[in-house]
Structure 1
Amino acid sequence: MRSLEEVVPCFGMITVQLAYGGANILCKLALARGLSYLVFTVYRHLLAMAILGPLAYVLERKRRPALSLSILAKIFMLALFGTTIHQNVYYAGLSYTSPTVASALGSVIPALTFILALMLKLEKVTIGSAKGWAKIIGAVVCISGALLFTFWKGHLLGGLVKHPLILVGTKGSGQGPQRGKDDWIKGSLLILTSNIAFSAWLILQAMIYEVYPARLSMTALICFFASLQSSVLGLIFERCKSSWRMGWNIQMLTIVYCGTVISCLVYYLQTFCISKKGPVFAAMFSPLILIIVGAFSAFFLAERLYMGSLIGAVLIILGLYGVLWGKSKDFDENGETKMIAEKTTQTLDAKNCISSSDCHNV
């Protein structure tokens, strides 16, 4: 049972990154064909709210904590950082960069989350212990691998396919938009800003779950506030009525996928993993999306593979393994501490029972 508790969060976060990888590709295709990211954010969260709302009401009706104004305000801020700011800024940046570069810039998420967790005392690192060094070195290796994957090409290894199976182009055009250096910098800065908001979101989830441990209800409320906040932005900055009309095409497919898979399944899985292992554990899986998107792009978009990509992928996996090993040692120590505390409590209860005159009635 104990090993299952260790494995399930790992598989959960791998599933999360696979889902995010698919979303990155679909969003790039849909944005290139004219989908407004403001409209997209509104529709996907409305769809998610319509699915999660009834489920949360039925499944958590008897064990859902009472909602106070303080908790609602905290969940409102959670939606503001994790969805409204993070997603709208991210998709704005994605329109200026490629999915692979956007995923590579996500390598800063583990470092940012790790620093925030240390500052808020949600994460502990013992420098003199093996697990402490494993976390630090693993994080550095993982981030270094992501940077190497992005900025050093090395020897050309070739491509998996000769011609792209999917064409990324603008609406009504067979070729993608040509971006200059200024656009690449603008896109990178936007994505880095969104990653800061995402790191804050991971930390806030851990803190809010302590006072409101109802995952489905919290996820449904996040989607509700996200759709409300994004609707206000959409009505201000996206007044063209044609942008709000949807047909059955790649744009609608992206909305349905992100609304059901990302906003419903991934949000819930992420909250579950954070409640079990903490925000730093969840953040350390972010560089995996770089490998996933890189492999997908190589196969479907005919992007070429380089030696730097291969070495970077290996370093990402090794660094991730190091951090997970350190976190597993934390889990072991916490389990042992809990067992000792339970045995101590049982011993004290037994002694109190012996000295009490009421024990014979038990």
Structure 2
Amino acid sequence: MGMEKAVPYVLMVIVQFAQVGLMIAGKVAMSNGMTTLTFISYSNGLGSLVLLPFSIFIYRSIRPPLFFTFLCGFFLLGVIGFLVQIIGYTGIKFASASLSTSILNLIPGFTFVLAVIFRLEKFNCRSKTTLAKSVGTVVSITGAVVATLYQGPSILGPSSHSNATFHTITSSSAWILGGFLLVIDSLVSAFFIIAQALVLKKCPVELVLMFFYSCFIAIASASVSLVVEKDLSSWSLRPKMRLIPVIYSAIFGNAFQVSISMWCVRKRGPLFASVFHPLGVIVANAMGTVILGEPLYLGSVLGSIIVVVGFYSVMWGKAKEAKTVEDGGAEILESNGKTTPLLQNNTEDGVVNA
């Protein structure tokens, strides 16, 4: 694999580390008194300020896309992105980092289904690659259901026999609610990835779209917060455990993670960008236990393993599909290389005979 082909793979792996860090940052900020809406407003507002100079510098010599198309595109991404962040961060409040990452691994499965519906992916029921992607999708969904409905005993982290019954009674409903919200968030995120692919076909200017996208979400979340939330103390950036997560989420969440994901969607397609989510499972389990002190439950581990198996099934199907396309292109080039001289000779003969 050449360096140019390897770049999207490396970037998407880095994106998964940033995604896990983003979930932990949001959980830390909200556990210190920030609300979901204020956190989203601050992170997107600061993210748009970070993106502004890069957008001006990189696209200064590029002709802007059609204004109406661009406006519709950024408005569509803004609305879907706003729902993704609101539902996602609300789900994270009720769930652990490991469960959150496990459930978000449903995104590749949902993306595959939507990509087929919108004809961004080929579906041939007799093809081995299609079968692998379909089976992988079903397996991933099964793993997410296991991680949501079966919590199981704690296998790592703080746990004691004396508080086991209390923990089950008080947190099982929150666990299921968090899992349910994250399943919805995965579906909306899949729509967001598909919308990115459709919009970027018309407007291939990722950073400009991200700038307006972040501005839209910051304004929308701030407006909703001022209406539904009366406690203005949630807007304070003190203590530092509020400020630091906001800065992290603005830089590595909005300015880096989503922008890189958009670029990979345009370069390699929506399914490629989504199938890297399962790689965050191990990172989330480790960081959630070490940084947040969350217990690691058997249900999360089993669900994660099942989801990762489904992930690699989809990846295998995509790899075989790409190889088939490359082999087909090579055969066409080889065929052209063999037939062109003959055509040229015949033409020359015709000219001589004439």
TM-score normalised according to structure 2 size: 0.82
Instruction: Give, in whole Å, the separation in 2 of the partners of 1:199 and 1:71.
Output: 21
1:19 CA drift (Å) = 1.1
1:19-72 deviation line (CA, Å, top 9, x unaligned): 111121221121111102111111111111111111111111112533411221
Contact 2:148/2:180, CA 8 A, preserved across alignment:
no
The residue aligned with 1:241 is 232
Alpha-carbon deviation of 1:265?
Answer: 0.7
Equivalent position of 1:69 in the other structure: 68
- Judged with a 3 Å threshold, the aligned counterparts in structure 2 of structure 1 residues 179 and 274 are, in CA distance, closer, same or farther, namely farther
Q: Which residue of 2 aligns with 1:114?
A: 112
Shift of 1:94: 2.4
Aligned partners of 1:146 and 1:290 also within 8 Å: no
What is the CA–CA distance in structure 1 between the aligned matches of 2:15 and 2:228, rounded to whole Å? 31
Label 1:160 to 1:40 Cα distance change in 2 as closer, same or farther (>3 A). closer
2:85 is the alignment partner of 1:96: no
Question: How far is the alpha carbon of 1:185 from its aligned partner?
Answer: 4.4
Q: Which moved more, 1:230-239 or 1:269-278?
A: 230-239
Cα distance in 2 for residues equivalent to 1:317 and 1:196: 18
Which of 258, 262, 267 is equivalent to 2:253?
262
Q: Write the deviation string for residues 57-106 of structure 1: whole angstroms up to 9, x where unpaired.
A: 11111125334112211211111102x11111222232233333333332
Residues 1:324 and 2:324 are matched in the alignment: no
Q: Name structure 1 gaps, 5 residues minimum.
A: 164-175, 357-362
Deviation of 1:323 after TM superposition, in Å, equals: 1.6
The AA in structure 1 aligned to 2:156 is G
Identity %: 27
- Tell me if the contact between 1:287 and 1:316 (Cα under 8 Å) persists in the aligned partners: yes
Name the SS for the 1:87 alignment partner.
helix
In structure 1, the residue corresponding to 2:123 is in which secondary structure?
coil
1:293 to 263, 268, 284: 284
What is the DSSP-based 3-state SS (H/G/I as helix, E as strand, rest coil) of the residue aligned with 1:287?
helix
Q: Which whole-Å CA distance do the structure 2 matches of 1:215 and 1:147 have between them?
A: 34
Alignment of 1:161-176 (within 5 A): none
Partner of 2:24: 25
CA distance in 2, matches of 1:75, 1:296: 34
User: CA distance change for structure 1 residues 246 and 284 in 2, over 3 Å: closer, same or farther?
Assistant: same
More helix by share: 2
Q: Distance in 2 between matches of 1:150 and 1:291?
A: 17
Aligned-CA RMSD value: 3.3
Partner of 1:170: none
Q: Are 2:174 and 1:142 aligned? A: no
* CA-CA distance at 1:341 after TM superposition: 6.5
Report the equivalent of 1:14. Answer: 13
Per mean C-alpha deviation after superposition, the further-off stretch among 340-349 and 18-27 is: 340-349
Selected match of 1:128 from 126, 129, 137: 126
Aligned pairs, number: 340
Query: Does the C-alpha gap of structure 1 residues 112 and 154 become closer, same or farther in structure 2, counting only changes over 3 Å?
Result: same
Which residue identity does 1:29 align to in structure 2?
A: V
Q: Which moved more, 1:140-149 or 1:276-285?
A: 140-149
Any idea what SS the aligned residue of 2:120 has? coil
